[in-house]
Structure 1
């Protein structure tokens, strides 16, 4: 095929709005040698039938940043390309029909202010004034976002494609990608076919923007891309006389959204139980196709809509539409380089927000490809958060029945998914279940989040206030602070780094000095060239040639991938995931030593077993390693045990613990204890865009350590530069003066009445007696006293609450308890 080259710098698979955006932004960075291949016609999969809603407020600051970028981009595309995008900032209204939903919307409004998005909380009458066609019976309040809008999805894609072509990209329709070639662990190009003709394009990078085909395209490269197509329904009315431009309206309690377009109303739905589609493969000839109508499925939505917007009762239905869109297991899209295959990039699974996300996602991915690292923290959508088993067809079909509806469900804190559960279980799962554990899911693992009392309902009752497990967590928390608690931490990610050069490899990756004696535990970060924190881990030296890196369950694939990418080709070193080989039982609290001493065949005093060390020990009739570390701020040990011995050791600890006030504890209490102690959590308080010094972790960086034979540790120059220039922001810990409000994350931080940041994490501090939060604030040229002697407040659902601020941990600031 003469128009196709045999070599390109990048080949993009898929000509929807996301693929076109990636092509546009790569060429904007100067990548003129870009080829986009579309199997049929541009936009023919999902883009053409998208509703085109352009909302800007997302669940985190950087996701909001990307959505705002998209809106700004679409406003200027017509002037650049001559293709009208139809972008209009008509504003949006979301209304609440329950008190809990109003709390959610008002907390979202507070978050919007922290993120710089114009927002206004409005009363039911004000909702009516802005949307006069709405029946406000039962409406408790609403939120107005004036800069939200709507646009023409297909034309946005075509404008982006034209912009890419204008800068040299080849955008070719009618060409199907039949395979992805690999060599040396990298993607090397694609095989294509058109009719009877076949060919190959060699490429440095292959980008999977195939939408609902993304899972199958991933398999061509040996990459897991967990997404599933679901049917998505909307109706479009006949023209309604007198209907003028209206804001986008969302009524999430009725699973509905409304868009006025050319004097008609589009009514769409995110129903609680959705219909997966294409499980046995998408038809080969699928192109601008609709799926069969299912009016019975849509009818409950329509009945409520007729009551909510009465003019619909008199309007004829012009179009009943059913089309497929792809959804991921956690309702967040997939972006970044695949951990299984270097040079294979993914931008797919957009969960019905592809239009509002495409501009920002394309920009971020292109910059990531250009620089070799993301432009800012993108962990929310990083493909490395997913697990290989999540591409399992049965798993995806079951989970996707729920995920579509979760878009408009109440976004309660601690909400757990209900479908496709129980795939990954620890060796103690059944023991904990028998003792009242209520489980949550992280990275597919079932983890005990809290323990129900005898006769208590073993399920969550969600709320924005104190949920049904609040008192349980208070008791567990008290046990950890006053007696002793047991946590199942078997889901910790465990990476064994081994070989003659293992020390030198880790010495370059880690900011701390890992050139330590056998048995020493090192708390450290993996830094990037900017001094940002790529990982927050402990490294335990097991022998002269072997180390154990321990990391959170959610970040294992990311951290293992980073280690692999930084092992030089000439190094004698391997890194292996050994997570499932060992269980971890944490025994934490002031009575931990008293409990463990009779079970352990060696001394546990400070002289025999100092803090920050690990030893092989006998435990009951088993044998494992005891690590003296703590994430709750108390005396304690993490016991690393062969998985086949974990149940025996658990039973022995439980028996001995009766004399010491032992209580089983869940992960909610682990979190509340660590927030009281101001311990950072990667992904919330520290990310790849947070400088290690500004995060308050400079003590874990050793500038004067002996360099690796592979060079100085990554980020060293950035740490030196920051120390010389001074900090621009610092992390503070806050305690609310009012003990009633609860904090979760993203609440605005106010200093002397002005918003200066937002909380990165929050929880109720049961020992400190109020909600505790952490977050960054500007601090240029300020000493600690000047920073703290200000009037600090935290905004909670529109209400400003006074707060005490601290640079030191509010709980045990001298860390005496962990070293007791």
Structure 2
């Protein structure tokens, strides 16, 4: 039914664009919070984009604790929706089985099982005999391991969406079909409303306080209307449905990722779907205007290898007729994580789109989280994995999206090895030292589009990753780089780290408000600090250098530069400052290790002594025949400097340092070394060890917060926590057995009980064992009580004893950085 001008309001608190399962979930959850001025507009018919043809698999376990929390919420919601709305959702807990056909995959799924236990998801590793018992139709040949999640489910995707829409309507929300949003009107950084046109040609405008982009595979295009970057690309997704099979009864969902396949029994038929390694992007130049419940052309040749393997795995398929060969589009993002949150470019445009074929299992939780965020103005918990602000502006480039999407669909079922790098759409952002590093054996990884040297191959060694869950081919290389920094001197490229310049007459006042530190310091002083939210959770972990009286340089992790800059802009208020991204203006080389001072003195006439350049200060220097600025700080726990070089002089400065470094046996190092060294030193990693829901005091960073300042974001929450006491602490662990490896998310046991999971994990090459850190509950306990415990880490079901302490295992008094 089309709209008329009288049926649509002239004003709404929020307009949701898109009536798939995500848009319906956002509308449902906003009305549940008491919002009744909610309008959802769907261009055609509800579910007619991708929701209607989704497979309807509803798993609980995701890659992180909070994503798992959202998936579990979706399950619980779908279990009650039918009773609430009267719409049958088809939701049932059938369980799921994942089988491994290689030893590497077996380790992956067993590590996932450990993670599930840490996240409170019911899981069990099962024998082949148990697999056969649960799934009698399977051919067990080649199966080396299996994991069973008894509470996983499946449902009817379209009816789940329709139930959510009905729930929204029952609480006063307006859901209108066949009304297309043709434009989003804007004023500065705010959307003012939407223009619409219905199927009869009627047009109109709705003024809106907020707009939510739930456009699914149209999300990129809807984003452009608002001046918002929503990087996603539609890809073809294939499955077949058999004719009815005699005697087929309810079965768990079965995943065979090594054969790129999943199986779902539905009403006596079998659905076989695929996430093949080389996907087919669709509608790169735009989705047809009349697309509605459409299928894409069959491509049996593309699907045939999956089907051949499936007939071997499930012999009954050889006898079953194919009822439906289906090809429909799904939207995929550059990193296989969906987009959620407040768009960085605007202050009232929200995004929930790009769900990478897990939209049904994600929709309930994503809608709940976004609605809570919109209602209070603050994230309900850490959503960094999916926060739209993680996307870089260039990632909206169509050629980039086409190239990357060919890979991301297949990555859903690829081996999820530690340190695995994307293979497509590479080389977009390069530091000024890129060619110099490649010429010397650099093996590049990619982060936020930046090509970064992760490790360096030795002479005669092929400079490429060979992935494994065991010690990978670069393990010894990183050990050598690690020990060079610990014992001699190493150099690595930090140019990708974000650099944000804050300047103006209110620079000091603004920094004092936005951050927890003391910025009223001499010019040249460096302050390690956090930006806090109102609950004293950590929104950013940065260093701030006072460059001039009214100018500060904020250095951020590469992946969060846009998010951190957006946080600053949103909290700028009436402060008279200009906030500018200057990342590309300077290259940065870190010179770290006991002989770093000697090396710098060999290439510069300046004085690097403690008297002139103590720890935590910066100075302008001559270097070679050029100029630079050195910051005496460290993320590896050694004496060292970060050398900031104007981009035009980077080549010269690199060659100067490399030539002089040969006389010191200086080693070029990569990001993996930096990570292993920082873990030995107990330095936190933003996004892993510290997030927006981790209280700065519980993270062990109270020393960086100066509550004697009168007013800064989060001050009250810091003072309150000091009064009430810590409920958990970030603890560092070292395994007593030198052989096992840690990555992150491994469960922590205290006195035999599961109490948490590792936020970081790696190998301490100086310490000679795997190390990690994670939060442990300790309400009402002293440090002595906490540490007077037996700690173990669960690795694939094996409990490995671990030493625990709050101080760093390496150089706990930080004597080495200040020599």
Pairwise same-fold verdict (TM > 0.5): yes
Cα distance in 2 for partners of 1:659, 1:460 equals 30
Cα distance in 2 for partners of 1:125, 1:736 equals 34
Residue 21 of structure 1 contacts residue 161 of structure 1 at CA under 8 Å; is this kept in 2? Answer: yes
| Counterpart check, 1:808 vs 2:807 | yes
3-state DSSP of counterpart to 1:380: coil
Displacement of 1:601 in angstroms is 2.5
Aligned to 2:160: 156
**When the two structures are aligned, how many residues end up with a matched partner?**
814
Residue 631 of structure 1 contacts residue 674 of structure 1 at CA under 8 Å; is this kept in 2? Answer: yes
Aligned to 2:314: 309
Aligned to 2:399: 394
Alignment of 1:652-667 (within 5 A): 652-667=656-671
Cα distance in 1 for partners of 2:660, 2:185 equals 58
| Counterpart check, 1:615 vs 2:610 | no
3-state DSSP of counterpart to 2:381: coil
| Counterpart check, 1:572 vs 2:576 | yes
> Which of 466, 471, 483 lines up with 2:471 in the alignment?
466
Aligned to 2:251: 246
Alignment of 1:129-148 (within 5 A): 129-148=133-152
3-state DSSP of counterpart to 2:464: coil
Cα distance in 1 for partners of 2:286, 2:612 equals 62
Aligned to 2:731: 732
| Counterpart check, 1:22 vs 2:26 | yes
1:461-511, Cα deviation, whole Å (9 max, x unpaired)? 000010000010010001000000001000010000000001101100110
* Residues 95-104 or 777-786, more deviating: 777-786
Displacement of 1:371 in angstroms is 1.0
| Counterpart check, 1:756 vs 2:755 | yes
> Which of 41, 45, 57 lines up with 1:37 in the alignment?
41
Aligned to 2:458: 453
Alignment of 1:409-448 (within 5 A): 409-448=414-453
Aligned to 1:791: 790
1:236-272, Cα deviation, whole Å (9 max, x unpaired)? 0000001100000000000000000011000000000
Cα distance in 1 for partners of 2:277, 2:604 equals 51
Alignment of 1:221-260 (within 5 A): 221-260=226-265
Alignment of 1:689-708 (within 5 A): 689-705=693-709, 707=710
Alignment of 1:366-385 (within 5 A): 366-385=371-390
Cα distance in 2 for partners of 1:384, 1:571 equals 23
Residue 127 of structure 1 contacts residue 141 of structure 1 at CA under 8 Å; is this kept in 2? Answer: no
Displacement of 1:788 in angstroms is 1.1
Aligned to 1:53: 57
Displacement of 1:196 in angstroms is 2.2
Cα distance in 1 for partners of 2:463, 2:136 equals 44
Aligned to 1:217: 222
3-state DSSP of counterpart to 1:465: coil
1:103-160, Cα deviation, whole Å (9 max, x unpaired)? 0000000000000000000122211111110000000010000000100000000000
Cα distance in 2 for partners of 1:302, 1:416 equals 28
Cα distance in 2 for partners of 1:277, 1:382 equals 25
Aligned to 1:817: 816
Cα distance in 1 for partners of 2:286, 2:730 equals 49
Cα distance in 2 for partners of 1:566, 1:692 equals 19
Structure 1 unaligned spans of 5+: none
Alignment of 1:55-74 (within 5 A): 55-74=59-78
3-state DSSP of counterpart to 1:352: coil
Cα distance in 2 for partners of 1:466, 1:625 equals 38
| Counterpart check, 1:121 vs 2:120 | no
1:534-553, Cα deviation, whole Å (9 max, x unpaired)? 00000000111100000000
1:752-800, Cα deviation, whole Å (9 max, x unpaired)? 1100000000110000000000000011122222211211000011111
Displacement of 1:598 in angstroms is 2.1
| Counterpart check, 1:270 vs 2:269 | no
Cα distance in 1 for partners of 2:781, 2:346 equals 46
Cα distance in 2 for partners of 1:123, 1:685 equals 35
* Residues 126-135 or 265-274, more deviating: 126-135
1:320-377, Cα deviation, whole Å (9 max, x unpaired)? 0000000000000000011011111000000000000000000000000011111000
> Which of 181, 184, 187 lines up with 2:185 in the alignment?
181
Displacement of 1:600 in angstroms is 2.0
Cα distance in 1 for partners of 2:615, 2:575 equals 32
Cα distance in 1 for partners of 2:755, 2:413 equals 30
| Counterpart check, 1:629 vs 2:628 | no
Cα distance in 2 for partners of 1:604, 1:317 equals 75
Displacement of 1:184 in angstroms is 2.3
> Which of 535, 547, 564 lines up with 2:540 in the alignment?
535
| Counterpart check, 1:722 vs 2:726 | no
Alignment of 1:533-612 (within 5 A): 533-568=538-573, 570-612=574-616
Displacement of 1:571 in angstroms is 2.3
Cα distance in 1 for partners of 2:780, 2:83 equals 43
Displacement of 1:101 in angstroms is 0.3
3-state DSSP of counterpart to 2:45: coil
Q: Normalised by the size of structure 2, how large is the TM-score? A: 0.99
Residue 36 of structure 1 contacts residue 170 of structure 1 at CA under 8 Å; is this kept in 2? Answer: yes
1:698-732, Cα deviation, whole Å (9 max, x unpaired)? 00000113x4xxxx001000000000111010011
1:626-681, Cα deviation, whole Å (9 max, x unpaired)? 00000000000001110111111111111111121200000000000000000001
Aligned to 2:330: 325
Residue 270 of structure 1 contacts residue 408 of structure 1 at CA under 8 Å; is this kept in 2? Answer: yes
Cα distance in 2 for partners of 1:685, 1:772 equals 13
Q: Normalised by the size of structure 1, how large is the TM-score? A: 0.99
Displacement of 1:458 in angstroms is 1.3
Cα distance in 2 for partners of 1:422, 1:526 equals 32
3-state DSSP of counterpart to 1:775: strand
> Which of 97, 107, 111 lines up with 1:93 in the alignment?
97
Cα distance in 2 for partners of 1:518, 1:607 equals 16
3-state DSSP of counterpart to 1:136: coil
Structure 2 unaligned spans of 5+: none
* Residues 655-664 or 665-674, more deviating: 655-664
Aligned to 2:286: 281
> Which of 622, 646, 650 lines up with 1:646 in the alignment?
650
| Counterpart check, 1:291 vs 2:290 | no
Aligned to 1:744: 743
3-state DSSP of counterpart to 2:817: coil
Cα distance in 2 for partners of 1:127, 1:752 equals 33
